[in-house]
Amino acid sequence: MNTDIPEYCDAIKKNGEPCRQKALYRNWRCKFHGGMSTGPVTDEGKQQSRINGRKGGRPRKTQVLQPQDYLKTEDNQTKPRISKELRLQQARDNDFERKLDELWRTINSLRHTLENRSGKTQVMERQGNGKV
């Protein structure tokens, strides 16, 4: 058995009894009594903690914008990204409209071809030999 780490926690609980948890750390404390710091308590410590949070690039508050608010932002990085997304969406819409126009032209040309062959617009029925 390792003698560096004691078997039981050396702390006293709030009710005055000794803690019965097994010691995990070299300071003779269990996971409940030898834990990490709960944060700064003094005003100076809290102020320093805020400064450290800003230095690391972590925002103090997460900001979520609605889609209509994106265009109102003054952020220079947001506007080009949004305008690029709008251009891509517009290109997709134009491509869809172009394909739809091609489809309608094909349908109209087939309709005119059928009118020229039969003299009136009808759907040709399949004949017995499998040819149209």
Q: What is the pLDDT of residues 18-43, one digit of tens each?
A: 888 888 767 778 877 776 667 888 99
The type of residue at 45 is: G
Structure tokens at 29: 């404390």
Q: What is the pTM of this model?
A: 0.26
Other beta carbons within 10 angstroms of residue 27's beta carbon come to: 13
The Cα 61–Cα 15 span in angstroms is 40
- 21 DSSP 8-state letter: S
pLDDT for 7 equals 81
**Residue the block writes with tokens 């040709």:** 124
Q: What is the pLDDT of residues 47-98, one digit of tens each?
A: 888 777 666 665 556 666 666 665 565 555 566 666 777 777 888 887 888 8
Q: 120: pLDDT confidence band, cut at 50, 70 and 90?
A: low
Which ranges constitute the DSSP H helices of 33-77?
43-55, 67-70
